[in-house]
Copies of this chain bind each other. A is one copy, B any other.
Amino acid sequence: MLRLRNAGYKITPPRRAVIEVVLREGEHLDPNEILQQAQAIYPHTGRATVYRTLELLTTLGIVRPIYVGEHGPTYIRAEGGHHHLVCSLCGAVTDFDQCVADSMERELEARFGFQIRSHLLEFYGYCARCRQTQPEIAAN
């Protein structure tokens, strides 16, 4: 909200709604779900505006699209870090906490002149359940 205003963008009802929805804790929502939930808050919200707002928020580093599991992109808050264990078979995503990435930020910023705002650390493999049900694949 403040970030938006500071960057010179207007605060409008549909933008408020989209932001509220996407920043709700623990959500990994696709654009359609975001549209639905935003309309529950501000009924007039249009589809195009949802896409436009997601793009804007991404640009401002407030949300981030992640592509995981079978289908389309999903959006999560960018702030801080996200740490996922992703199953390549069933697409299940498990969050975990402790993360060792912050220790690298300073050096990367110095080396590349990059200003880091957040990160995403994902491990890919096979979840406990898929290892049981489909050992042939997990094995090889």
Contacts and interface: CB of A to CB of B under 8 A. Distances in A.
Interface of A: 3, 6-8, 55, 58-61, 64-68, 70, 72-73, 78, 85, 87-89, 94, 96, 98-101, 103-105, 108, 111-128, 131, 136-138, 140
A125 B121 contact: no
Quickly give the copy total for this chain.
2
Contact of A59 (B88, B101, B128): B88
A136 to B, nearest CB: 7
A119 to B, nearest CB: 5
Contact of A108 (B65, B88, B96): B96
A114 B130 CA distance: 9
A122 B132 CA distance: 31
B88 A114 contact: no
